[in-house]
């Protein structure tokens, strides 16, 4: 699962298109949504991006993700956490694979019965994010299920507020050992507004390069921003 140059260009064009949609609000205080609003499942299902909206090289993954499990938040050898209980899950995952790299997008909305339950779900995930180890060194793994060179990974936790959705983003940068040059950059945004928690994870993997993806920071923000703008 590695990104081709064609896919890189398509992703950049798609992200620019998404930026237009995400930037149509003035962003003033008068435009801020009610933090106690009720959002229904249909609204969230329609807000999540679909493959044809991101670019023609994006497709659903071969294996359907487990609806009861989120993506890994802390990276390294940590396991992906289960979905916090009490909410209805709406999800959409897509990949863009090539010979030199890959991109993945995992969107999960947890629609709770009320704001209090959503805040509890957000707090549980926030606590997990805050417990992430900041610097990791992982040895090579070769087995029947996976083959991955040794790597180091840094983890940075930052507050995030987009369109009235507030929470945290976990930013991870993985760098493989020099004899197997490559990088992986991942952003896991954990946001809450009203009765909904959104976990939006974008990752880009590159082979043969020790340099982080140039547009990574802008792209993950555009992808998250386009979803929250659709909810309004």
- What is the DSSP track for 36-56? T----HHHHHHHS--HHHH-T
- The pLDDT value given to residue 31: 62
Please give the backbone phi and psi of residue 130, each rounded to the nearest 5 degrees, phi first.
Answer: -70, -20
Q: What is the average pLDDT across 204-210?
A: 86
Rounded CA-CA distance 158/167 in Å is 9
Rounded CA-CA distance 183/6 in Å is 18
- The pLDDT value given to residue 140: 92
Rounded CA-CA distance 79/134 in Å is 16
Helices (H) and strands (E) in the chain, counts: 5, 9
Residue with the bigger pLDDT between 201 and 146: it is: 201
- Contact (CB, 8 A) for 90 and 109: yes
Q: What is the average pLDDT across 149-174?
A: 95
Q: What is the average pLDDT across 116-121?
A: 97
- Confidence check: pLDDT of 10 > 70: no
Q: What is the average pLDDT across 63-82?
A: 92
- The pLDDT value given to residue 197: 98
- The pLDDT value given to residue 208: 84
- The pLDDT value given to residue 210: 74
Q: What is the average pLDDT across 150-161?
A: 96
- The pLDDT value given to residue 107: 97
Any idea how long the chain is?
A: 232
- The pLDDT value given to residue 207: 87
Give the predicted TM-score (pTM) of the model: 0.85
Tell me the helix, strand and coil percentages in the chain, rounded to 5. 30, 35, 35
Domain positions in the chain are 5-231
- The pLDDT value given to residue 34: 81
Q: What is the average pLDDT across 146-167?
A: 93
- Confidence check: pLDDT of 201 > 90: yes
Range of weakest confidence among 21-25, 95-99, 221-225: 21-25
Q: Crossing angle of helices 5-22/216-231, nearest 10°?
A: 40
Range of weakest confidence among 4-8, 63-67, 69-73, 85-89: 4-8
Q: Which residues pair with 193 in a beta bridge?
A: 196
Chain centre distance of CA 144: 28
Task: Find tokens 């890959």 and name the residue.
Answer: 102
Give per-residue pLDDT as tens, 162-184. Answer: 989 999 999 999 999 998 899 99
- Confidence check: pLDDT of 131 > 60: yes
- The pLDDT value given to residue 4: 33
Q: Tell which residue, 158, 84, 92, has the closest CA to residue 116.
A: 84
Q: Could you confirm whether domain 5-231 is CATH 1.10.1200?
A: no
């Amino acid at each position: 699962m590695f990104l081709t140059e064609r896919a890189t260009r398509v992703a950049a064009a798609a992200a620019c298109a998404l930026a237009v949609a995400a930037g149509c609000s003035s962003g003033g205080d008068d435009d801020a949504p009610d933090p106690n609003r009720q959002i229904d499942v249909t609204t969230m299902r329609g807000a999540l991006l679909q493959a044809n909206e991101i670019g023609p090289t994006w497709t659903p993954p071969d294996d359907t993700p487990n609806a009861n499990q989120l993506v890994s938040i802390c990276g390294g050898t940590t396991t992906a956490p289960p979905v916090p209980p009490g909410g209805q899950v709406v999800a959409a995952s897509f990949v863009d694979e090539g010979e030199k790299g890959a991109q993945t997008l995992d969107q999960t909305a947890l629609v709770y019965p009320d704001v209090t339950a959503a805040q509890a779900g957000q707090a549980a995930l926030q606590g997990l994010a805050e417990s992430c180890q900041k610097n990791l060194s992982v040895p090579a793994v070769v087995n029947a299920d996976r083959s991955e060179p040794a790597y180091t990974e840094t983890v940075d936790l930052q507050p995030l507020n987009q369109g009235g959705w507030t929470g945290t983003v976990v930013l991870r940068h993985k760098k493989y050992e020099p004899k197997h040059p490559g990088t992986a950059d991942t952003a896991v945004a954990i946001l809450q507004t009203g009765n909904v928690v959104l976990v939006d994870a974008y990752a880009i993997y590159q082979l043969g390069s020790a340099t982080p993806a140039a547009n990574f920071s802008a792209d993950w923000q555009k992808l998250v921003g386009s979803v929250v703008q659709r909810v309004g």
